[in-house]
Structure 1
Amino acid sequence: MIIQPLLIAISVSMDAFAVAVGKGLAATRIRPLDALKTALWFGGFQALFPLLGYIGASALNDYVASFDHWIIFSLLALIGGNMIYEALHEDEANAHETPQFGWRHMMPLAIACSIDAFAVGVSFAFMQFSVPFAIGVIGIVTAAFTAAGLYLGRVVGLRWQKPAQIAGGIVLILIGTNILLEHLGIIG
């Protein structure tokens, strides 16, 4: 069950990765401290928000156990579809981020990129794997992806920002579909 949390972590980190690429595009130079700040802000919030979602949904687990697979599928399909929509409809002016790394700039970005992770955390209450492990993986993967995205944005540019976000959305939809089909007994 390591694959599913890892795929979820990679998928939910794509928004933060895209923002980091945008920040890298706007930066004239990137210091290691900038990459560390970016990794900590985004990785920390991407780990915190699924934890909050999980805690909130765990209280309701007994009431929704008979249809939890539909909740998981709906949340992951909605999040994935939204990621794809945003990637396809974002205008170029909004694709570029400013290269500021202070808390007043980073906190709103980290929170905005973590809203999807909250909904994923809600779905964790109904899934069968280690939630602390999954939350840790999300934080670590997001931290690594955003630090890499910052440097990648500086070197490569916008070329991979939208495809990465679209791929993340598709993976979330496929995971939700797989869980739904397993619970319905269509696949084993």
Structure 2
Amino acid sequence: MNFVSIFFTSLALAMDAFAVSLTKGMTLKEINYKIATKIALFFGLFQGIMPVIGWFLGVRFEGYIKSIDHWIAFSLLGFIGIKMILGSNEKEDRCDFLITNKELLILSIATSIDALAVGVSFAFLSIPIAPISTSIAVITFLFCFIGVLLGRKIGPIFKSYSQIIGGIILILIGINILNEHTSIISNILS
């Protein structure tokens, strides 16, 4: 795999985590470089580790992983998105002072399940996983760090709607992941 392919694979895998980071930047009350770094580290580490796990699982569990990965991601993102929307009328302007490690863990897993499946594919293609997983982790970290800070800037524009917008974004990411793997929406519209 050449550098350009690795870069674009990394970029594609980072997009869901970037969108969630942007959402968290919009909805958290207190954002600073430490919090942005924490969020970016969670997403970067999980995006980098999951392809390695998938690569080692390889042939043994490919069918099982590919058959349910999209449902897990959809369920986790949908749950958190609905929770954000329902909590929007309880709080003013922005959601919380800090994001919990538990929430970051759930979001990191949900947005990196596709990276696990990619790792399985790389095992079948006999592609070395170390340079790709490193690239995925670094690019995801950078995009998520920028996403949190960008979200902080645009969050006040949306004020009390940022929780609802953030929840809708998470649900839409979940639906998109589900649709990419099952074409449910295409089948409904046909």
Percent of residue pairs identical: 30
Note closer, same or farther for the CA distance 1:53–1:98 as it changes in structure 2 (3 Å cut).
Answer: farther
Higher RCO (CA 8 Å, separation ≥ 6 residues) = 1
2:99 to 98, 101, 104: 101
- Tell me, in whole angstroms, the C-alpha distance in 2 between the residues paired with 1:127 and 1:149: 32
Matches within 5 A, 1:113-128: 113-127=111-125
Note closer, same or farther for the CA distance 1:106–1:98 as it changes in structure 2 (3 Å cut).
Answer: farther
2:51 is equivalent to residue 50 of structure 1 = yes
| Alignment partner, residue 180 of structure 1 | none
In the TM superposition, residue 59 of structure 1 has moved relative to its aligned partner by 6.0
Normalised TM-score (structure 1): 0.63
* Contact in 1 for aligned 2:51/2:129 (Cα 8 Å): no
| Alignment partner, residue 137 of structure 2 | 139
Q: Which AA in structure 1 matches 2:33?
A: P
Note closer, same or farther for the CA distance 1:104–1:152 as it changes in structure 2 (3 Å cut).
Answer: same
| Alignment partner, residue 36 of structure 1 | 37
| Alignment partner, residue 3 of structure 2 | 2
| Alignment partner, residue 109 of structure 2 | 111
Normalised TM-score (structure 2): 0.62
Q: Note the alpha carbon deviations across 1:96-150, whole angstroms, 9 max, x for none.
A: 9955322122111111111111011111113364320000000111111111100
- Tell me, in whole angstroms, the C-alpha distance in 2 between the residues paired with 1:9 and 1:107: 20
Count of residues in Structure 1 that have an aligned counterpart in Structure 2:
148
Runs (4+) off by over 6 Å: none
Q: Would you tell me which structure has more helix in proportion to its own residues?
A: 2
